[in-house]
Each structure stands twice: as C-alpha cells, then as structure tokens.
Chains A and B, each alone.
Chain A
Amino acid sequence: MTRGVGAQILVELLPQATYAIELEDVTKTFGGHTAVDALSLRVPVGSVYGFIGPNGSGKTTTLRMITRIIHPDRGRISVLGKQGYAAANDRVGYLPEERGLYRQMKVIDLLRFHSRLKGHAPQRGEIEQWLARLQLSPWGQQKVEALSKGMSQKVQFIATVIARPQLLLLDEPFSGLDPINAEVMREVLVELVRNGTTVLFSTHDMGVAETLCDWIFMIHKGRKVLDGTLREIQEEHGSDVVRVRLDWANGGDRQLRDLPGVARVSDFGNLQQLRLSAGADHQKLLQALMGRGRVEQFEVARPSLRDIFLQIAGGDEA
C-alpha cells in the first residue's frame, strides 16, 4: 500500500528538515523472523501520527528502532534530522508499552531523575504542576509501589513529557486508563502538539486514532499497508457502507447478500450494515430494499478505520 495521493503530494513538497522522523527501507530481523520489512515512513514535524497494526505486526520494534534502543539490520533512520544516536535523544520522549518505574523511589524523585536524564533541570514547582495537572498531587511524596496501575501510567507519562520533547513516541499510551484519565492525557497531548511537539503513537483503539491523528499508518506482518490521512485511507479502501433498518413485521426476505452491489453483510440484529462493491448504485440498492420490506433507516457512510483494519488484518487480533 502506498501513501494517499494528497498526502503524497504534501509530503513531496515539504523540505526534508520538516520531517521529525524518516525511515527508508528499514528492515529488522530476529533470528529467522522478519519483524520489520523494508519499511519507509516520513512523519512531518508538528503532526500527530497514529501507528496501528495487529499484535506482533512490528509496531514496537519500529518504535524501538526510532528511539535507537535497537538498530536496524538495513535501511536508514533519521530522527529530528539527525542519524547519530545521542544527537536527537534528549529531544525525544519515549513511553514504552510496558510501564517500568523504580518501585522504591518517591514519585517526585523519580520524575526529577527522568527529567535530568533528558538534560532538563526542573524548575521550582514544575514537577508539582505536572502532578496537579494529572491529578496526582497527593501522591508526590509516596513511593511508586503505593500507586495504582493507572496512577503509575500517568507518572510514566509525566516522566516522558516533562522535558518538553520535540518528538514524542508513545506505545499504547491510553491502554488500561479509565475514560476520565484518558481524557486528561489526551488534553495534555493536544497542548504539546499545539506547542510544536510531533507525536507518533501506536494504538489499538481505532476511535482514538480517528479523532486524534492527522495521519494514520498501519503495519501488518512487518510491512506498511496504510499511510495517509483518514480521509485518504477511507477513499482508497472504502467502498461505501450502508446501514439499513427494515421493518420485518410483515415478513419479507431477510437475506440481503444477494441485493445488487452488496459485497458483504454484517447483521447486528436490528441493524444491518452492507459493504458495497466498487461502483455500486445506492439508489438501485434502496429500490431493491423497499421491495423486501418497509425501510426505516438508510444511511450511506464511509467505512470506519476499524472496518478497514479488519479488512486488511483479516482474522488477526485487532
């Protein structure tokens, strides 16, 4: 799958320095298994890039290569315009999928430690402000081992962003968070992006990817299969979807698969979702449906990212 046409033109027009991340033909193998296969990617500065893919598709390996925790077998990786290891490291914040904090340290000491590792000396009150922002003020003097899983995740998030990195790499940042805490973190992310931070994050939550991301990138079995804006992806992959609700009270043929232009039917009981084949005529379909029963709802929609994900990943876990 290549990048969407609009996105492709925009990317080609951008000067090279405006890419926060550039991957060219990057390959990484572990033993006999190719985790990432000839992957190329350009993440523009200031964008929010969503990174989706089934489990084991190579997302974490790609993120680790971008952070230089592991090195590719082949290809070129440039981060914030630099290829050397340490050059960009302090300007990159990385939140791994698995949270890892020193359990015996006090929260406030831990945040100071991570901040200083990024070359950032926190100013007086700065850590306290972050704790207040993420509703953790009462826990500043507590040891990490006293925190709940959600709290630990927020502490780890603060540790990642406290040095105000130019590039944020987040591996499943919202997993395990309740909606309130997820919303708090989302607000912080949006603010960071407004202030110029580029964000690349992996997620299994297609709703988050659709609402938060400027660009979406999907990797499957180590290879890139989607790359573009949501609209471009929908245009390229989405045959239209029609959601219909029929009144079957007076009987009628519930079999909709044989209707003209219908490629696939998902029956949700009261609602049926019909995926149309390319070039299908909505009006002909509506007429055919009216012949089957009383049509109470007929809604033409674009396919969701989840639909496209399932279509590409097939039976793989989403």
Chain B
Amino acid sequence: MNFHKTRIIANREYSAAVRSKSFLASLVLFPIIMSGGIIAQKVGQKIGDTTTYHVAVMNCSGNPSLYGVIENAVQYHNQHELTDSSGRQVRGRFVLEQVRPVDWRDTAELDRQRLSLSDRVRAGALLAFVEIGPGVMNPGASTSGDAGTIRYSTNRPTYQDFIALLRSALPPAIVQQRVHIAGAEFERLDPLLRSPSVLQTGLAENSKGKVTYQSGAGQIVNVLVPIILIVLMFMVTFMGTSPMGGNIIEEKQLRIAEVLLGSVTPIELMMGKLLGGVGVSLTLAVIFIGGAYYLAYSTGYSGYVSKQSIGWFFFFMIVGTMLYGSLFVASGAACSTIKEAQSFLMPVMLLIMLPMFMLGPVIQNPSGPLATALSFFPLSAPIIMVLRLTIPPGVPAWQPIASAVLTLAATIGCVWIAGRIFRVGILMQGKGANYAAVFRWILRG
C-alpha cells in the first residue's frame, strides 16, 4: 500500500468533511445539547410564567382547617414566590376553589364528582383537583381504599409547582394536628419525629493534616464526567464515520470512484477515507475535550478525570472510528443507491448505538457482569470501557489493555473484510448486492 497516496485521499476527505455544514453544526450543537438542561432552565426563567392556575380542593377529612393550610400556602406563594429578583413574574399564580365534599361512602356521588372535576381539567378550566380523604386525620382507624390519602389529579403531570407546594404544606400540617388530637405536645415531639439524613460522600482524604471529604458538587461531577465523555465519544465517532456510506454511494453514482481507481488501489482509497474520518473525529474530540478541560481547570474540577483516562478515550475513539467506519464503508460499497443502503446501514447504526441503550445498567453497576462483558465486546468497548474507566473507582489495569487488544484485533478484521467488499463493490453499478453476494465477495475477494 502506498501511504503517500492514502494520505492524499485522507487529506481530501478530511478537508471536505470539516468544511461541511454538518461539521460546523455539530461544533455548535454539542455544547448546546450537553448544557441543554441548564440553558433550557435559564431560557424558561427568562420567558417566565404569567399563567393563573385554578385548582379545586375537595376536603372530605372533616377538618376544615386543612383547606385553610393550602389556602395559606397558596397565598404565600402568590405574594412571595411569583417574581424573580428584578420583580418580573416567572412563576404561575394559583387560585383555589373549594368543592363541596361528598360522603365517601356514597361511591356513586363520589364518582360523579370526580368525573365532573376531571372534565373541567380536560376542558382547561382547572389545572388539577385535590381530594383530601376522610381518613387522613386518623390513620390508625380502618379506612377503606384511598380514604387515608391525599389525591392530586391532573392531565399535566410534568408541571410540578402546585404538587410541590401541596407536599410541603399539607402533610406536615396534618401530622401536627394528629399529634395535637392525640393530646401530645407537638413542639416536643417534632425533633424526635425528624428522620436522620443519610449523607453520601467520597472517601476521607488527608489534606495538609486535615481530613476532608469530597464535596457534593464533586460527587455530581463524578457521574457527569463519564456521561459527558461517552456522549462525546458517540458523537465524534458517529460524525467521523456515518457520512462514509453515503459518500461512497455518491462517488459510485458520479463515477468518481472509477477515476480515482485509475490512480490508487481500492485499499488505498478505502484507508484514505477511514483515516479522513479519524481526522474528523480527532478534531472534534480535541476541540471539545480541550474546551472542557479548560473549563474544568478554571473551575477547579480538572482533577476529576485522570490523564490516563483521557489517553484511553483517544485510543478507543481512534480504534472505534476505524471499526465503525469500516462497517459504513462496506455498506456503501455494497449498494448503488441510498435507498438500497438503508437495509445495510440500519443494522450498522443499531450496532453502534447498542452501547447507548445499555448505559443505565452499566452506570448503576459499572463493575457488574453486564458492564464488564460489554466493555470487552469490540462494538461496544469504545464507549463502555471509557465509561467504566471514568466512573470511580475505575477498573483493574489489565481490563482496558485486554479490551484494547480485542477491539484492535476486531478492527483489523473488520477493515480487512471491508476491503474485500470495497474492492468488488466500488465499481459495481446498477442493482446493489444482497447479503449472499457480499458474503461471497468476502470469501473470494
């Protein structure tokens, strides 16, 4: 293989990719996606919420003061919590409406009331309605069904402001009144009733003779950093590889491939494309990792990712780009149109996205058998091994080495197979190949 020619092809591929609109878009989009929650929150605050929400309360507890508790909380909210520091309204106003309580035993009437209130919520007249069951004041008594509960019914479950208000105001008030009813002194019992908190910290460290623990923010960073790294890994490898299939089909359709093959071998052409893709991935990774490191350094969090982990990130990113890229290259070479390519590209896409579907259980137990197995499976190793490496306490030293060897071997195998498919498929015109034909190309070359 002529490496000089491969480099010329790679340079052209890289140059074309980094000048594309999708590359520029990804440069802008990734930070937005990663900081999307914070930005959305800020934007939401800027936009504000000037809506007035109506909430119906059906107090069946027999204790009229409970409605008053909610009323006081709403009044406080409307007076003190609606505006930001500049005086602009950023949260919705609440208006309460007391609904005639029904006899809980009259289930027909209860259902009728519930249906009626539900219809008003559906119609938009109410945000929600609250039912205070008849048994809330007397939890020891045998009550049927949900008589001892407070029910909050709405068709906007994601809007949390009112239920948060309800949770903070009503249950403590009910407990306090129960204590009084029982003849006890609440002020004496209150400290006894408070649950002790469970505090999660990092390990103790000796810092200049003083024992310190990792801060709460540090704990969050410990989880955030691995997630940011693997999303970055997924994005940069995907950006570097996913256009390859379509580009190859276009080059076949425009007969560019035949012109190039007058000057380079199919393997030189394919390797040039793969290395161009690696260049694109590396550029994105350097920009984002560099930017993130600068940000972390400025805010004192640079110690949360070791240089070794960053090294492994770049290794798995390069190998992963070659591995996934070879699958895209082979798919593109086997097809003549984008439509045909979908049947080949879809399984490839799913394989690449596979580790992303497994993130939940892997983060939950990064040393468990599933996480360990996925970090040795070549198609998921670039993402899962980096994830395991960066979640404390990390992995034994032999594991990333063994995973790297396995992934590298699989990559060499996939590139070799892709080369067999590429050199036959790249000149093929007309109808694309089926899986059987592709298998024959691999066997016979």
Contact = CB atoms under 8 A, between A and B. Distances in A.
Contacts of A177: none
Interface in A76-102: 85-86, 89-90, 92-94, 96, 98-102
Contact of B259 (A103, A104, A116, A156): A156
B8 A113 contact: yes
A104 B2 contact: no
A64 B429 CA distance: 14
B77 interface: no
Given A105-B16, A118-B263, 9 more contacts: A85-B265, A89-B263, A100-B257, A100-B260, A101-B256, A114-B259, A116-B8, A117-B5, A117-B263
A314 to B, nearest CB: 27
A221 B39 CA distance: 69
Given A116-B8, A117-B5, A117-B8, A102 B265 contact: no
Interface of A: 64, 67, 69-70, 85-86, 89-90, 92-94, 96, 98-105, 113-114, 116-119, 156, 159-160, 169
9 contacts: A64-B258, A67-B261, A69-B262, A86-B2, A96-B258, A98-B258, A100-B254, A100-B255, A117-B263
Interface in B50-65: none
Nearest to A163: B263
A93 B262 contact: yes
Say which size band chain B's interface belongs to. 20 to 34
B12 interface: yes
A117 B258 contact: no
Contact of B265 (A64, A86, A99): A86
Interface of B: 2, 4-5, 8-9, 12, 16, 251, 254-265, 427
Contacts of B263: 89-90, 94, 114, 117-118
A270 B4 CA distance: 64
B427 A70 contact: yes
Contacts of A117: 5, 8-9, 260, 263-264
B12 A69 contact: no
B128 to A, nearest CB: 56
A169 B262 CA distance: 10
Nearest to B16: A104
A105 B255 CA distance: 15
B261 A69 contact: yes
B261 A103 contact: no
Nearest to A98: B255
Contacts of B259: 94, 96, 99-101, 114, 156, 159
Given A69-B427, A86-B2, A96-B255, A102 B16 contact: yes
Of the candidates B255, B257, B259, B264, the one having the most CB atoms from chain A within 10 angstroms of its own CB is B259
Q: Which 7 A-B pairs have the closest CB atoms?
A: A94-B262, A100-B255, A100-B256, A98-B255, A117-B263, A100-B259, A69-B261
A92 B262 contact: yes
Of the candidates B8, B12, B262, the one having the most CB atoms from chain A within 10 angstroms of its own CB is B262
A93 B259 CA distance: 10
Of the candidates A64, A102, A119, A156, the one having the most CB atoms from chain B within 10 angstroms of its own CB is A102
B256 A102 contact: yes
B60 to A, nearest CB: 72
A101 B260 CA distance: 9
A69 B269 CA distance: 12
A99 B255 contact: yes
A94 B12 CA distance: 20
B272 to A, nearest CB: 10
Given A113-B8, A113-B12, A103 B262 contact: no
A67 B262 contact: yes
A123 to B, nearest CB: 18
Contacts of A156: 259
Contacts of B255: 96, 98-100
A114 to B, nearest CB: 7
B345 to A, nearest CB: 22
Of the candidates B9, B255, B264, the one having the most CB atoms from chain A within 10 angstroms of its own CB is B255
Contacts of B256: 100-102
A57 B9 CA distance: 33
B255 to A, nearest CB: 3
A170 to B, nearest CB: 11
Nearest to B251: A100
Contacts of B254: 100-101, 103
